[in-house]
Amino acid sequence: MSDHDPVHVLHPEEAWGFLRSHEFGRLAFHLVGEVHITPINYAVDGERLVFMTAEGSKLFGVTANTDVAFEVDEIVGERATSVICRGRARTLEGQAAYVVERLPVRPWVDTPKSVVVAIEVDEISGRRFDLTRPWLRDLPTG
C-alpha cells in the first residue's frame, strides 16, 4: 500500500483562486420545502459570488430562504478539483447592483436577466483528487 494520499485539502486561498479561474457552477437553494440545484454563471467579487437572474423560481427561492450552497468542479487529466461554498444570498439593488459593471458576469443565454444576486460566503472548502480510474485502462482502443 502506498503512503501517497490521493486527496488534497485546498487552503481557502487556493479554493478562492480556483473559483476566480472559473465562471460556471451549480447553485443549490431551498424552494417550497425542496432543495433545487441549477447551473449558473458567476463572477467572484472579493469573497462573495455574484450572478444575474430574472424573476422566477430561482430568485424566489434565494430570497425566501437565503441559505444556499454553490459548487464548481473540474476534471483535467488525472486530477479532479471540487470547491463548495455555503452562505447567504441577497439581491443587490440601486448603487450596489452596479458591481456587475466591473465584473465579468453577463448572461450566457440571450434572455433578460436584470436582478443581481450576491452570495456572501460563510464557509468554503476545496479538495483536489489524484485519480486512478483503472477502468479506463481496460477500455478497448480503436
Residue 101: name the closest of 111, 89, 88, 92 by CA.
92
Inside any domain, residue 1: no
- What is the rounded CA–CA span in Å between residue 121 and residue 63? 16
More confident residue, 135 or 85: 85
Q: What is the mean pLDDT of the chain?
A: 91
- What is the rounded CA–CA span in Å between residue 82 and residue 76? 12
CA torsion 103→107→108→111, rounded to 10°?
A: -170
Give the model confidence (pLDDT) of 51-103 as tens digits.
999 999 999 999 999 999 999 999 998 899 999 999 999 999 999 999 999 99
Inside any domain, residue 24: yes
Split at pLDDT 50, 70, 90, the class of 110 is: confident
Domain that holds residue 99: 7-132
User: Is the pLDDT confidence value at 109 over 90?
Assistant: no
What's the domain count of the chain? Answer: 1
Lowest mean pLDDT among 38-42, 81-85, 109-113, 122-126: 109-113
Inside any domain, residue 43: yes
Inside any domain, residue 32: yes
Phi/psi at 89 (nearest 5 deg)? -95, 145
- What is the rounded CA–CA span in Å between residue 111 and residue 81? 31
Average pLDDT over residues 117-128: 98
Inside any domain, residue 82: yes
Inside any domain, residue 139: no
Inside any domain, residue 140: no
3-class DSSP state of 74: strand
Split at pLDDT 50, 70, 90, the class of 139 is: low
CATH of the domain at 20: 2.30.110.10
Inside any domain, residue 141: no
